[in-house]
A and B are shown apart, each in its own frame.
Chain A
């Protein structure tokens, strides 16, 4: 079946059996497509003796460690069909993932994102405040994950403003005016969790002390990018929620889980605080010891599958995140599909040995 058919369905509408059937078909199809189109992927499948006739469920399909997209150039279509290359936002010196998109894949990503997020924001565009600086989206040939996220979400905005300038300072006057102009309307706020905390929340808090306040009680905040930096500052999800609420009245707050290697299929946090898999993708938790599938409630390594990627073999990936499935089809919020939580990144291995290089990496 084609991806367009899947796009016609509502993101959280399928129960386990139906979703399983759809996804298995599509993912097997993608596996064969990439085997055909990507020689590295084909070599990998051959090396493990992959046979498609043995696959009855997408849980049995091979998965690639996401790291491979940093080490290898993996694509399944000719170079001239690539319209966009996305990169992960690695810090300097680190290798970055390179994700090659053709027209169809890029368009699926965008459409999927809109379908998923609209479930939370409602159809129709909203005035949008992007809690970031404009320069992050300037180079459109090479998208960073941050830039790609912003551009992806921007499509949901009618009027848009960047809340920060390129020095990461809050545009106080502009923000004031924007909120004023859209009084009574629902506003969409979007940004990366740490940016929001560091450059938005902290500034609002400071301004509040000076008597300058902003009312965002009618807004919805969608944020992603992980909690690592905030955990270092001892800011938990609860603290984050409460602080945002206290400082500007925000209460409709949704985290999301996603990665540049599977852009589009984001996992939104529902009103009950759970991350949800839509019908376009799924999460499988694997036991680190033997990669067997973990039951509900058992902590393991997150594998993500996505029905989107046609131009690169990224439809089944093993992340380096730890998480657990909390349930399926029965979240009190009413959405179908698996719901889960993420505990964060797996620890680097502590390795003994003669060479000092590892130790120095740890010391830095």
Chain B
């Protein structure tokens, strides 16, 4: 079994099974191009630095990849009907504890950076589920987003959106 070492931005080392990394388009491309999965190559001597991912986030990403080991990896653009994607229970429980905090969002950014399509889809879907049926001010309050609109601007957008009610 080939182990590949990933190095997070805070210089923690994570030895990961080569098989798991097939889910990440970014790392998979690197491994294939550098022949890191060759038995004769000393893969341990060539750790992959991930300067955009912090250690605790990378740990979560690896945890997620381990659970989804063997899942089919989507190729190309996601053609699914986005509104109908259901987040499986395990993933829901996985995302939930950190949902309104930075951890979940950093996980989403990491999924985008590492090009892990399934994780990005599910994580974005989990976030979008929290917006369902909520008004702008409610979402603002829940996520702590500051209100930058002037009352006139808010009124203009409200008028613009009136018909969607």
**Chains A and B are bound partners:** no
Report A's interface with B, CB cutoff 8 A. Answer: none
B interface residues with partner A (beta carbon < 8 Å): none
